[in-house]
Amino acid sequence: MPANRCPNPNCEYFNRALPNNAKVCPWCSTPLGNVITPTPTPTRSVPPQPTPPQQTPPQATPSPSVPPQPTPPKRPVANPPGYPPPGDYSTEYQQRVPPYVPPVQPAYTPPPPRLPLLKLIHSTGREFQWSGEAGYIGRRSQSMTVPPEIDLTGIPHEGIISRRHARIYWDWSQNAYTIVDMSTNGIYLNNTLLNPGVQYRLLNGDSLQFGQDNLVRFTAYVM
């Protein structure tokens, strides 16, 4: 009678002779019987896989090491002999804003008042006009450097008229033109002979006659 053997391949007593009267393996408790040789399982051979070539990483070319240069020690800056130490002038050259000065308004000068226009109309219809504070009525000549303001040269019987026959003034107190006789033949105002050197007021429509015989006659207008 063959000996009992443990059929458990994982048991320590696998395929070992055990007592004939043992019914189970004393180690793994597997029922005992004739040992059946296990049929080996055929293994499938796997063809070896080609191993991919390993790429070798490029080796870095070591750069030649440069030894560090020693840093020279800083030397204290000494002021040149005879010169003062530098100062802080950052605030001495700042641009200063000048104070605001309001513009000066020019003094208003009112224009001079415009004087009325004095117009003398001759009996022939010829007009003579002038505007000013002072002037002369007369007749110019070659010996005169400045002709009169109202020049009566060229009218009929102009020989009666003197070079400076009358003086004309603007009287601010009376707000009117005045006439003063300066002639040798005289002046008649509204048929009244004027006294030489005396001012007489001229009004609109007044009649002026130079000399006698009613030869040189004007009508005065103040406009």
Q: Supply the pLDDT for residue 100.
A: 82
- 210 contacts 185 by C-beta, under 8 angstroms: yes
Residue 23: pLDDT band by 50, 70, 90 thresholds? confident
Instruction: State the average pLDDT over residues 141-164.
Output: 93
Where are the CATH 2.60.200.20 domain residues in the chain? Answer: 118-222
Q: Which amino acid is at 29?
A: S
Q: Which CATH class is domain 118-222?
A: mainly beta
Q: Supply the pLDDT for residue 126.
A: 95
223 has pLDDT over 80 = yes
20 has pLDDT over 80 = no
Instruction: State the average pLDDT over residues 141-167.
Output: 93
Give the count of alpha carbons within 13 A of 41, CB side only.
2
Q: Supply the pLDDT for residue 31.
A: 78
CA distance 6 to 18: 8
CA distance 161 to 125: 18
CA distance 139 to 159: 9
Residue 114: pLDDT band by 50, 70, 90 thresholds? confident
